[in-house]
Amino acid sequence: MTTPASASPESESVLSHRPFTLFWGARVASTIANQMQIVAVGWQVYQLTHSAFDLGMVGLVQFLPALFLALLVGHVADRYDRRKIARICLFIKGLAAAALAIGSIYGWLDKQAIFAIVFVIGATHAFESPTLQALVPGLVPARLLPRAVAWSASATQTAVIIGPALGGFIYVLGPSAVYTSSSVLFVGASLLVSLIRIESVLPRREPATLSSLLAGIAFIKSRPAILGAISLDLFAVLLGGATALLPIYAHDILATGPLGLGLLRSAPAVGALSTAIFLARRPLSRRVGRSMFIAVAVFGVATIVFALSRSFVLSLATLVVLGASDMISVVVRSSFVQLETPDHMRGRVSAVNSVFIGTSNQLGEFESGVTAAWLGPVPAVLLGGVGTVVVVLLWIRLFPTLFGLDKLVNPAAAPNPPAQPPSPATPTAT
């Protein structure tokens, strides 16, 4: 994991570090599987029920395990081999996808069965996400962490481009074909993680006390800038997320089929991937706080335009802008939180961060579904975009230090000793 002393962060590639390259491949495979599965589940549930509320319930069912397990999973990630945890979680996701495939083939996969399997996937993801977040800083030197975060994000967004479109295309053969493909990819990702070799994989263990379980929350509360960064994403995506309603837009408003839904799902990732690649090569060097707030405001405006659009092409374009702006926020927030968190706390802090991300994504989907059931899909998305812009203005006043953040580099707060190597968010998504 060491590099020649002459190598500079500007010239050194994170992909020259084999552990990170294996991790990157696993992220691509697992995220493609996730995104294919999301398209299939969303389309299948809407075909079964034609209910915006049930689409929202898919997100809620995935979120609840993360909420209730948050304290436990962070502690586990700080006490045990993070590679092993990730490997097991990915394998279980493969089994869950296989169950969806079998249920589709034999005809017993009704709404309740889908919710039950999605709950298992959510519980597994609750362990996987913070573990992978906490693993990244141990795969590259600390000086390359912002670049590694951008490359990790590019892996996710590459998969988010490919996955939904591929899922929509394969769905022509039936949902079982999508779920079977997802299962194979999850198992492949698990195998890639098992090949990662780093000098030490067992973080320092602490007694399993209530205080240690709550340490992640206490740490974030003691760092207002970290709290502001995480909560900005929470409320912006919670209000502005429109992804849960994409099946309705594809089916009822834009009149496209499952392939059109896959393209809509992929569109944000096109913008996000382009931005991630740019940031991997040219990381933000100054005024990173201001850049993050502007990006989230653009996210809100793009959501408003999408809500009002009746053109498939315009809708795709606004989703591309939405994804690009979200990626700037993701890279700044993720790098900042990891650099400010000591290694022995990364699992618990990442677990809390994952709950915030899950709240914004999965609970945001539930909120969108409920609001759409009450007001209709267009007013629901429109109000969410307006709410995101309002949150940005409010957070600038509440967290002026975060808004004024100039640089991400803080090596003293992010030690990376060889003996203590230290986890995605997705999008979905984000």
Q: Report whether pLDDT(183) > 90.
A: yes
Strand segments (E) across 344-412 = none
Question: 176 lies in a domain?
Answer: yes
The whole-number average pLDDT for the span 175-197 is 93
Provide the pLDDT for residue 213: 53
Question: 390 lies in a domain?
Answer: yes
Question: 295 lies in a domain?
Answer: yes
| Total structural domains within the chain | 1
pTM of the model: 0.64
For residue 352, give the CATH number of its domain: 1.20.1250.20
Question: 429 lies in a domain?
Answer: no
Q: Report whether pLDDT(405) > 50.
A: yes
Q: Provide the pLDDT confidence category of residue 226 given band limits of 50, 70 and 90.
A: confident
Q: Report whether pLDDT(211) > 70.
A: no
Residue whose pair of structure tokens reads 């206490």 in the numeric block: 218
Question: 27 lies in a domain?
Answer: yes
Give alpha helix (H) positions in 136-257. 145-170, 175-194, 210-213, 215-221, 224-240, 246-248
| C-beta atoms surrounding 286 within 10 Å | 10
pLDDT for 266-297, tens place per residue? 788 788 888 878 877 777 767 888 888 999 99
pLDDT for 10-43, tens place per residue? 556 777 778 888 888 898 899 899 989 988 998 8
The whole-number average pLDDT for the span 114-140 is 85
- Containing structural domain, residue 224: 14-197+212-413
Provide the pLDDT for residue 304: 92
Q: Which of 90, 86, 100, 89 is nearest to 39 (CA)?
A: 100
Q: Which residue has the higher pLDDT, 56 or 249?
A: 249
